[in-house]
Amino acid sequence: MIVIKRGWGVTVVSPFDGELRKEFISLGIRVIIDEILLISDNFYRDYLDECNLVVVNTVKMYYLLENCYKKKPTIWWLHEPESLYKYVPDNAWEVLNFKKICICIVSEFSKRVFLKYSRVKNENISILPFGIPDYKSVYDCKIINDYMEKITF
């Protein structure tokens, strides 16, 4: 993995255990599994001081964002269908400072869905189809641009 070869530590924190855990461990990636992530962000806060960059995966983990972006550069990787946006309460969109969160979305369609529910302006949103950078949109996002030499999806 390029990130590890460049000297960066990688930790995956997830509320669910599964087959990917074995693969991550075989790559030398630290894995923390704790269901408390489903209901609280307190657990996650304990690890932020160790991070240089945080990637929050999925729309359902929206509640982790507020504590992350206030302390560390944060990327929100969105790749879910429209039906999962119902899990984000309306007031959650108002609390988040989207100018400080770099949002990576899998497609233009998914971007339109995100904009519809979040009512956010087109700030810091990049299209990252299937984890492969669209260089034009990715390099427009300052957070990713600052870390591009260090991160490869």
Residue 148, both tokens: 């591009």
33 secondary structure, DSSP code: E
Q: Is the pLDDT of residue 124 over 80?
A: no
Q: Is the pLDDT of residue 133 over 60?
A: no
pLDDT tens digits for 46-104? 677 888 888 898 898 888 888 888 888 999 999 888 988 988 898 888 888 888 899 99
Using alpha carbons, list the distances in angstroms from residue 148 to 66, 76, 139, 143, 151: 23, 15, 8, 9, 5
Residue 45 has a pLDDT of 67
Q: How much is the pTM?
A: 0.76
Confidence of residue 138 (pLDDT cuts 50, 70, 90): very low
